[in-house]
Chain A
Amino acid sequence: MTIDLSSFTPWASLSGGILIGIAAAMFILLNGRIAGISGILGGLLTPQKGDIVWRALFIAGMVLAPTAWLLTAPLPDMQIDASYPWLIVAGLIVGISTRYGSGCTSGHGVCGISRLSPRSIVATLAFMFSGFVTVYIIRHLIGM
């Protein structure tokens, strides 16, 4: 293992993480809900009365974040190397499996671990593990 110090951004990442934590804290303290993105988005596909607007507004806030950012600074680097077919396959897998597994990086990884939920700790270990293995296979075994 070698650490890539040139792209290591501990302070920016810690600050961003703190903002994410503040968002998760606000949502449970004020709205009484878990800020889990896959659950909030997925819930819009089976709309229930009185359960639509807050979901749509939360998603709108996330989607408008880059626009708000652009009011003060140019957007940070964003590099998407995956090809279109690859992105479609990855998107389908992420969509199906986050709903099947009741959460993603935000709901399990941030909120779940923050409240020491055993299910979320197991979930986070599972997706971290398969994420590491997938990248290892693609980059070092297949060599893509």
Chain B
Amino acid sequence: MNKHFVSAFVTGLIFGIGLLVSGMANPDKVLSFLDIAGAWDPSLAFVMGGAIAVGAIAFTFVKGRTHSLWGEPLRLPGKKDLDQRLIMGNLGFGIGWGLAGFCPGPALVAFGTGAPKAIVFVMAMIAGMAIYEVIEKSRTKAVN
């Protein structure tokens, strides 16, 4: 088996366990973090803090490199402009996040517990991603 496939699986597994440990896989806790006017639970700021502290070391290390330690080309996003898509898309994402307390990673982990509500959310999320692809396809067709 290709070692890149093994590392992809292991990365997903560690990521998922990290989400379980952190409390982010629990929508109730996520919503308590987003509820700054209520009984606020600031825990999730610690999740971001811990993740960024470790991530920053790795991303600083790869800065200026063209390949990963395993010789894979580094695929970093090249876009620089703060366009309307970025801002509208992320404002929209925050609304969806605030409605149910699920963002994509935690939703997949919750899906893995077999909770029916998480399965429904993930199905709707994948449907949403498919709708996006259909809209994009018709948009590029219209431009051409």
Contact = CB atoms under 8 A, between A and B. Distances in A.
Nearest to B114: A66
Contacts of A131: 34, 94-95, 97-98
Q: Determine chain B's interface SS by DSSP, over half rule.
A: helix
A53 to B, nearest CB: 6
Nearest to B87: A126
A142 to B, nearest CB: 12
Contacts of B115: 78, 80
A123 B86 contact: yes
A80 B101 contact: yes
A21 B41 contact: no
7 smallest A-B Cβ distances: which pairs? A95-B128, A101-B89, A16-B22, A61-B12, A65-B16, A17-B50, A91-B124
Contacts of B141: none
A134 B112 contact: no
7 contacts: A4-B32, A21-B18, A32-B73, A92-B124, A96-B131, A114-B51, A131-B34
Contacts, number: 488
A86 B128 contact: no
A91 B120 contact: yes
A24 B43 contact: no
Contacts of B62: 28-29
Given A34-B76, A69-B20, A80 B13 contact: no
A118 B25 CA distance: 27
B108 A130 contact: no
A54 to B, nearest CB: 4
A17 to B, nearest CB: 3
Interface residues of A, number: 112
A66 B128 contact: no
Given A1-B37, A102-B89, A126 B94 contact: yes
Contacts of A10: 42-43, 46
Interface string B28-48: 110110111111111110111
Interface string A1-30: 111100111101111111111111111111
A104 B103 contact: yes
Given A65-B109, A90-B96, A97-B89, A25 B26 contact: no
A64 B43 contact: no
A49 interface: no
Given A108-B90, A122-B87, A94 B20 contact: no
Nearest to B113: A66
